[in-house]
């Protein structure tokens, strides 16, 4: 297998989880291939050597002459195609692909493809839950955790829902999705794109190539592609929708998720809270509708969905107080988004009590002051930079805690009927926990025993 066959020899560039999945796939196809990685001891090297002892693994700087000997380069998402050796091979006519193309060549079932700067995982998961509620055997995979090629070892699904990053889309040519969407576009990964949002935007919009249906976000003009007349367009937004579009209708003070003039579900019946999550719900419905999922199943899935673990996840309602776990909020921007998103759902005298603190990584916490002044009743702070965070948060009641259990108990004491207690630390967790999942689990456990 490690010998070079001049008519069909592929090189996997970059090992790790995706590279290993590519190697396993190529082996099942009987394809001659090798693996290269710029790192001297890349993750997955031991597994590769154990599973495929005859496959050539070359570590260290890429050799352009060696790459030119391939018929196709299979590029892992973490490796930029701007590497000079890769560019040299491509200039000589070597095909450049990624794991998504390998997957698309094999599957016959329809694909829903989802990308965006934010909320990809939430919407991908939710669309998957909608498909399950409709009785479909669905594969949810891609950037969300399970490499797409690992799905090929299972019986073929009736539908695949793919979360795709801009890095994956850079090398995707053969997607041809049944439904494709860019949820939103905000500056991200600009180190990869020469500090230009244009390159990032262009990578995201590769998702629309060959799509039959596209879903656009009316609240973000950068999500709308240039399309041929043969492509069916669907839209969603937080405004009042036109006929055949998804949006919000208001009736007697209650907002409803709606399709055109048809009210589908009161926002108050969603477990996920905040304007950003209302947008995620509408996006998921628009995507599911474009894919032909029945409305009843989508509404059922929405009512049951409590959010992704550690991402503004509803945990429990206790004694008239709602508890939300946003342990994934490891930076100030994420916590501000959570404060505003949940804060805008409050009414009357309702307020937020924030639990925050940890390893601040030198961050400026001053941006927390404004949303806390607007929506906050109190702050419970803990961890290495808790005091520094508290000092930046303006004039509201502040209480120090020595553990997560202590923090939850003190937050419950501060909160009043109808309030929200939110864990969104604006910090890393490594001073007190092994990572943000352990921190979130500690919060959930502490709420459970209140």
User: Helix 332-343 vs helix 275-290: angle between axes, to the nearest 10 degrees?
Assistant: 80
**Chain center to CA of 332:** 18
Catalytic residue annotation: 120, 143, 189
Cα 179 from Cα 225, distance rounded (Å): 13
Is the alpha carbon torsion for 219, 221, 222, 226 positive or negative? positive
List Cβ neighbours of 141 (8 Å cut-off, separation of 6 or more).
147, 148, 150, 151, 160, 161, 162, 163
At residue 18's C-alpha, the angle toward residues 15 and 19, to 5°, is 35
Asked if residues 72 and 95 have their Cβ atoms less than 8 Å apart, the reply is yes
Asked if residues 394 and 372 have their Cβ atoms less than 8 Å apart, the reply is yes
Asked if residues 408 and 433 have their Cβ atoms less than 8 Å apart, the reply is no
Cα 322 from Cα 315, distance rounded (Å): 8
Structure tokens that stand for 244 in this block:
């055949």
- Which residue reads 């995707």 in tokens? 172
Cα 421 from Cα 412, distance rounded (Å): 7
Report the C-alpha dihedral over residues 340, 344, 349, 352, rounded to 10 degrees: -30
């Amino acid at each position: 297998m490690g010998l070079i066959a001049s008519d069909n020899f592929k090189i996997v560039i970059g090992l790790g989880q995706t590279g290993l999945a590519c190697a396993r796939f190529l082996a099942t196809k009987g394809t001659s291939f090798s693996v290269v990685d710029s790192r001297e001891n890349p993750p997955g090297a031991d597994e590769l050597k154990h599973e495929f002892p005859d496959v050539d693994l070359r570590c260290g700087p890429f050799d352009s002459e060696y790459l030119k000997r391939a018929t196709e380069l299979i590029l892992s998402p973490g490796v930029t195609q701007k590497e000079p050796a890769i560019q040299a091979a491509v200039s000589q006519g070597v095909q450049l692909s990624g794991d998504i193309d390998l997957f698309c060549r094999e599957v016959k079932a329809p694909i829903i493809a989802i990308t965006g700067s934010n909320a990809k995982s939430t919407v991908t998961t939710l669309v998957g839950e909608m498909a399950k509620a409709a009785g479909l055997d669905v594969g949810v995979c891609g950037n969300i955790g399970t490499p797409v090629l690992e799905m090929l070892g299972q019986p073929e699904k009736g539908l695949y829902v793919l979360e795709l990053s801009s890095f994956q889309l850079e090398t995707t040519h053969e997607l041809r999705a049944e439904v494709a969407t860019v949820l939103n576009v905000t500056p991200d990964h600009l180190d990869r794109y020469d500090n230009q949002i244009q390159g990032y935007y262009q990578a995201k919009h590769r998702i629309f190539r060959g799509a039959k249906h596209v879903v656009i976000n009316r609240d973000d003009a950068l999500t709308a592609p240039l399309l041929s007349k043969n492509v069916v367009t669907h839209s969603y937004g937080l405004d009042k929708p036109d006929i055949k579009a998804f949006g919000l209708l208001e009736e007697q003070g209650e907002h409803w998720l709606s399709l055109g003039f048809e009210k589908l579900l009161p926002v108050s019946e969603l477990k996920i809270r905040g304007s950003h999550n209302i947008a995620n719900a509408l996006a998921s419905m628009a995507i599911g509708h474009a894919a032909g999922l029945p409305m009843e199943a989508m509404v059922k899935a929405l009512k049951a969905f409590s959010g992704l673990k550690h991402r503004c996840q509803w945990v429990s309602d206790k004694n008239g107080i709602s508890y939300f776990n946003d342990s994934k909020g490891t930076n100030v921007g994420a916590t501000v988004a959570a404060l505003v998103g949940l804060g805008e759902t409050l009414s009357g005298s309702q307020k937020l009590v924030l639990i925050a603190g940890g390893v601040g990584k030198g961050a400026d916490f001053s941006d927390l002051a404004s949303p806390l002044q607007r929506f906050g009743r109190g702050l419970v702070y803990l961890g290495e930079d808790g005091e520094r965070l508290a000092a930046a948060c303006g004039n509201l009641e502040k209480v120090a805690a020595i553990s997560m259990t202590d923090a939850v108990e003190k937050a419950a004491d501060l909160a009043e009927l109808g309030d929200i207690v939110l864990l969104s630390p604006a910090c890393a967790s490594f001073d007190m926990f092994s990572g943000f999942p352990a921190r979130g689990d500690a919060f959930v456990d502490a709420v459970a025993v209140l």
